[in-house]
Amino acid sequence: MRYQKSSAEPSQNSLHRYYHANGASTSSTTSKKDKAPYALVTGSTGGIGEEWVHQLAALGFNVIAQGRNESKLQLVRSAVLARYPAVDVRLLVTEATIWPNEPLVTGLTALVEDDPSVRLTIVINNLGTVSTGFPMLEEESSESVAAVITSNAIFPAEIARICLPALKRHQPSLLCTVTSLGAWNPPPYLSPYAGTKGFDVAFSRSLWNEMAIERQDVDVVCLAPGQVVSGMHKYPPTLMAPLASVWTESAVAALRSTWWRPRPPPVVIPYRWHYWGQMLGQWSPSWLSDTVARKIAVQLKADYWEQAERETVDKKLL
Residue 11 has pLDDT above 50, yes or no: no
Coil, helix or strand for 165?
helix
Give the model's confidence band at 25: pLDDT under 50 very low, under 70 low, under 90 confident, else very high: low
Question: What average pLDDT does the chain have?
Answer: 90
Question: Residue 111 has what DSSP assignment?
Answer: H
pLDDT at res. 24: 73
* CA end-to-end distance (rounded Å), the chain: 50
Query: Tens of pLDDT along 156-171?
Result: 999 999 999 999 999 9
63 touches 71 (CB < 8 A) = no
Per-residue confidence at 259, pLDDT binned at 50, 70, 90? confident
* Predicted confidence (pLDDT) per residue in 139-151, tens digit: 999 999 999 999 9
Q: What is the pLDDT of residue 118?
A: 96
CA-CA distance, 122 to 172, in Å (whole number)?
9
Q: What percentage of the chain reaches a pLDDT higher than 70?
A: 90
Rounded to 10 degrees, the C-alpha dihedral 116/122/127/128 comes to 140
SS3 260: coil
Side-chain-side CA neighbours of residue 234 (13 Å): 10
Query: How much is the average pLDDT of 204-224?
Result: 98
Instruction: Judge residue 146's burial from the number of C-beta atoms within 10 Å of its C-beta, 0-12 exposed, 13-18 middle, 19 or more buried.
Output: middle
Cis peptide leading into 172, omega within 30 of 0?
yes
Could you tell me the domains of the chain?
A: 16-283 (3.40.50.720)
pLDDT at 26 over 60: no
Cα separation of 47 and 126, whole Å? 10
- What whole-number distance in Å separates Cα of residue 113 and Cα of residue 262? 28
The pTM for the full model equals 0.91
Give the pLDDT confidence of 287-315 residue by residue, as tens digits.
Answer: 999 999 999 999 999 988 988 887 776 66
Backbone φ and ψ for 202, nearest 5 degrees, come out as: -65, -40
User: How many Cα atoms occupy the beta-carbon half-sphere of 124 within 13 Å?
Assistant: 31
Say yes or no to pLDDT of 6 above 60. no
Residue 154 neighbours by CB under 8 Å, 6+ apart: 99
Residue 213 CB neighbours (<10 A): 7
Helices (H), the chain: 32-35, 47-58, 70-83, 102-112, 142-149, 155-169, 191-213, 244-254, 272-283, 286-317
For residue 22, the model assigns a pLDDT of 82
